[in-house]
Structure 1
């Protein structure tokens, strides 16, 4: 009998791997083999980069699928594809208390891994291999995310309750390597944690180890073989076409036939008719916690025969690898679909924000051309500027006769013109702020009705305008007014025209042009229609007298377009507070992943 002691061999993370050794290169230099490895590496990279950040239904499962696929590529598919001649990895898994560690100890003939009543017993996975095959496992060829700890066999016997590594939750990220001549060359045996452990980390590690297996030795008991958790993993094995051996432990005397027939029918029904079935009778362990040697002789013989058959091992490796690649294609296709759903959800959220702010820009534009801005303060300041209602009537009767009077009135750019500009700025600013706030509230509400939008917004309240928006709006309006004045200067470059607009004053003409820009009266009712209508006529007649009818129409249209463009820019900047919350996206990712899934199916078919 002997005990196992432990010392560190290497601690190598996935991001700190050495340069590839010979065993990491493809076993064949054929173009097909190299292309297959290149494809798998590309799939691994794109899966690792797949972003599924939005909180959509079933996204957690898609994230697990992506992470699991990446891990399986690293842990099993790529290492096995590179070296089909590497030893097979037989992972011993099963339910809590099923007797996995006791079986492993029995297979090598002495305690090497801890067993007992305390749960979970196996916290740190132990990989047993023949001494001549240590190089296959000491590097990061398989399970590269787990650091290595070297265990060695000591001479003094230790009971199974104290064998192996001391249970240590902090050692979950390491793999204990034990070289033991009792393990046949060609097959390594890995004692995994419980698949239904009370520890989340234990369950995740067990699933990772089983996904890295060439074959499974699944241990269950006569009274727990129908439990749901083990069967979920067995169904996964069926989907991978992996070789499975089911060890039915602690079978009561006289129940062998009944239990084995029921279990066999379950296996056949779930597509596992090729699974090997072994039974271990209920028996008393010896003082070291060991099963009688004869109890596991059929399992040991089966493993020995597999190890001795190089062609058979190669066939098992190819079969499992091919089935795993085919199953991987399904997982990649599922991730591709999830990525498409992410794209659609992000597009919907973006469209909601764009639509809300586009509608706001449209409402601002409507307000600038339906006469609505000619109410209240703007109308009062314009009337102060151009005179009384009698002035309007006189102008209607004989524009030419009053042109000199208007020129004298406007000459010297009196302060009332500036007050018109200020009133327009105030009124227009109020409209822009109000519509920006409406767009923000609309977008906020639409996002919060969507699970992905709610997640992106969190506790932030974006239903109003951002700080400083009022000042930015006012500055943009003033810039528009300055551009409008420059438009008048440019249009009045001719000497004759220049004399006219100089006689009226640049501010007076600017105020008149703003009034013409806002001259449509569809939004006014009652007395306002007549007043505002007269207001617009004064401005338009004045400008036509200076620049001509075509020039006035052209200037008004250009000024309106400039104002609309400036308002759009303001609102586009505002909506960024929503759009910047959307995750960065690779719009090609769904198509790329779907193409990978198809390529993996073709690779499996070719194999």
Structure 2
């Protein structure tokens, strides 16, 4: 810790790391995501079980966790350290399901609360006044008891250090293996037990390499070494430790020997290890150095783990952005196609064209265009006042045709987005078995309502434009519905994309609408009205399809997600904290 970094600031950083890791969600099925989720769980457990408790209580007793492979003799070793049976040993595996923590009676208050390993409940054990065989000592194996920690106060344990007998690291029980890993991650130092014929096994070495990355103090106990093989086996094991960066680990040899009638080792077999632990316990400054060394190494390793999570979160953010981009592109293209269909003359065919021709007629109305504008207005005004219904039929036909275009393009966008997402593992996971390749329920009714609202807004434009004294009489004579129908026709023919024989009919009919509007409002006003009406239609179509695309985008919304940059900042701060120690 640097001179300007207080313990309170360090604890505040660690608590922020814990909070943000807990809030980090990696929901997308990306390569490496499963490993990153495990990293998050392991980091949270280590913060809760070891790092935060140790930062808050640097003077607490050291926790020495005894771990190793199945049948390595961990429980027998622990019993030998205290001189009587306190943990169950035997041939039935696993013997250690419920971990036992042995401590000096004066150190009980450090472990009775939830200071360390807070996820495990506490059970107070007692030392039997009558000696028990090792096969009967300790709690009986119980799969349901794996969530608890048995505390045993024993004066044979030196004050200042506690010994925890952990389950097998390679247990056939998944829960046991997880618990063993959790307990080893909470250790200030490891007493790692292996045998002469199993010291090269892969599983223990993975944990020993993790110890090397944390710079944790390790004592390796080589158990059941046959007579005459001590030098050869210990030299080979020491060579392996040196190669893997564990050359400073203390190595203790326990020869192969018969157990006494109570299932205990001869007192001299574990005396070197026993003496070493007592020397550690008696040296307050040394204990503090061990605690700080392990804590510093663990924080450094945590920084690397948080950095990996930050990279995984960044990959998630990038993938989510790509999926969101696919959805937005598909629906944006759909809006563009809708607008193109409304300006290339396509809507002036079929039913819309027929209703418009019914409305304006094909004879007298066109001849009126050749007369002066006054006669034109008078004739058209009389025509409109006598036949209001045809204008409404034009509106209805436009609504029906425009609704069909919008529904079709919205369905195309949904199908396109669904196809793109299902071609990606992350998108496929988000969709699951849901079929989003069509429009949402009630979309047709929403589209129709939006079109009617657009038509209503268009009528209001005409009313507003016709409020002047000079034009009021004109638009009143032509009628709101008639002028509205004419404006819709003009909007839908602004680029005159008609070809072939239709241009003479539909194109000419659109010109009729434009001339009529110009006669009432003037040429500039007509262009302004048409532009405003088109922009309003564009905005309404955009809004409709943006709501539709939310069916996809909502699946990318992860409440409480933490930005990758925040996690990367935490990783850098943890590295600085470790480097300052």
TM range (shorter): over 0.9
CA distance in 2, matches of 1:99, 1:30: 47
What residue in structure 1 maps to residue 572 of structure 2?
A: 598
Partner SS for 2:269: helix
What residue in structure 2 maps to residue 454 of structure 1?
A: 428
Contact 1:53 1:583 in 2 (8 A): no
What residue in structure 1 maps to residue 255 of structure 2?
A: 281
Pick the aligned partner of 2:272 from 298, 301, 306: 298
| CA-to-aligned-CA distance 1:419-448 (integer Å, 9 cap, x gap) | 111110000000000011011111111111
Contact 2:23 2:560 in 1 (8 A): no
What residue in structure 2 maps to residue 140 of structure 1?
A: 114
Change (3 A) 1:122 1:583: farther
1:128 aligns with 2:96: no
Contact 2:104 2:155 in 1 (8 A): yes
Pick the aligned partner of 1:161 from 121, 135, 141: 135
Contact 2:88 2:138 in 1 (8 A): yes
Deviation at 1:521, TM superposition (A): 5.2
Change (3 A) 1:44 1:275: same
Deviation at 1:371, TM superposition (A): 0.8
Pick the aligned partner of 1:318 from 286, 289, 292: 292
Contact 2:300 2:574 in 1 (8 A): yes
Pick the aligned partner of 2:47 from 66, 73, 78: 73
Where in structure 2 are there 5+ consecutive unaligned residues?
A: none
Deviation at 1:54, TM superposition (A): 2.0
CA distance in 2, matches of 1:146, 1:364: 62
Pick the aligned partner of 1:394 from 333, 355, 367: 367
Partner SS for 2:30: coil
Contact 1:395 1:538 in 2 (8 A): no
CA distance in 1, matches of 2:229, 2:416: 69
1:534 aligns with 2:508: yes
Contact 2:84 2:264 in 1 (8 A): yes
Deviation at 1:575, TM superposition (A): 1.1
Q: Map 1:155-304 onto structure 2 (within 5 A).
A: 155-304=129-278
CA distance in 1, matches of 2:372, 2:4: 94
1:494 aligns with 2:474: no
| CA-to-aligned-CA distance 1:334-354 (integer Å, 9 cap, x gap) | 111111112112222222212
Change (3 A) 1:292 1:262: same
Contact 2:20 2:562 in 1 (8 A): no
Which is further off, 153-162 or 548-557? 153-162
Which is further off, 107-116 or 282-291? 282-291
What residue in structure 2 maps to residue 411 of structure 1?
A: 385
CA distance in 2, matches of 1:231, 1:525: 79
Change (3 A) 1:245 1:399: farther
Which is further off, 515-524 or 296-305? 515-524
| CA-to-aligned-CA distance 1:45-76 (integer Å, 9 cap, x gap) | 12222222222211111111111111111111
Contact 1:123 1:171 in 2 (8 A): yes
CA distance in 2, matches of 1:306, 1:457: 58
1:546 aligns with 2:528: no
CA distance in 1, matches of 2:532, 2:4: 68
Change (3 A) 1:339 1:422: same
Aligned length: 580
Change (3 A) 1:201 1:583: farther
Contact 2:377 2:474 in 1 (8 A): no
Partner SS for 2:6: helix
Partner SS for 1:284: coil
What residue in structure 2 maps to residue 46 of structure 1?
A: 20
Partner SS for 2:127: strand
4+ runs of 1 displaced by more than 6 Å? none
Change (3 A) 1:446 1:399: farther
CA distance in 1, matches of 2:189, 2:495: 83
Deviation at 1:558, TM superposition (A): 0.7
CA distance in 1, matches of 2:359, 2:332: 35
Deviation at 1:118, TM superposition (A): 1.5
Deviation at 1:585, TM superposition (A): 5.2
CA distance in 2, matches of 1:493, 1:459: 57
What residue in structure 2 maps to residue 352 of structure 1?
A: 326
Contact 1:372 1:521 in 2 (8 A): no
What residue in structure 2 maps to residue 426 of structure 1?
A: 400
Change (3 A) 1:522 1:252: farther
Deviation at 1:255, TM superposition (A): 2.1
Deviation at 1:584, TM superposition (A): 2.4
What residue in structure 1 maps to residue 347 of structure 2?
A: 373
What residue in structure 2 maps to residue 570 of structure 1?
A: 544
Contact 2:25 2:561 in 1 (8 A): no
CA distance in 2, matches of 1:233, 1:276: 16
CA distance in 1, matches of 2:406, 2:553: 20
What residue in structure 2 maps to residue 328 of structure 1?
A: 302
Q: Tell me the TM-score normalised to structure 2 length.
A: 0.97
Partner SS for 2:156: coil
Partner SS for 1:54: coil
CA distance in 1, matches of 2:188, 2:525: 84
| CA-to-aligned-CA distance 1:231-259 (integer Å, 9 cap, x gap) | 11101000000010111112222222222
CA distance in 2, matches of 1:283, 1:392: 119
Cα-Cα RMSD: 1.8
Partner SS for 1:319: helix
Deviation at 1:551, TM superposition (A): 0.8
Q: Tell me the TM-score normalised to structure 1 length.
A: 0.92
Deviation at 1:330, TM superposition (A): 0.6
1:584 aligns with 2:535: no
Contact 2:23 2:562 in 1 (8 A): no
Q: Map 1:105-124 onto structure 2 (within 5 A).
A: 105-124=79-98
Deviation at 1:519, TM superposition (A): 0.9
Deviation at 1:359, TM superposition (A): 1.2
What residue in structure 1 maps to residue 483 of structure 2?
A: 509
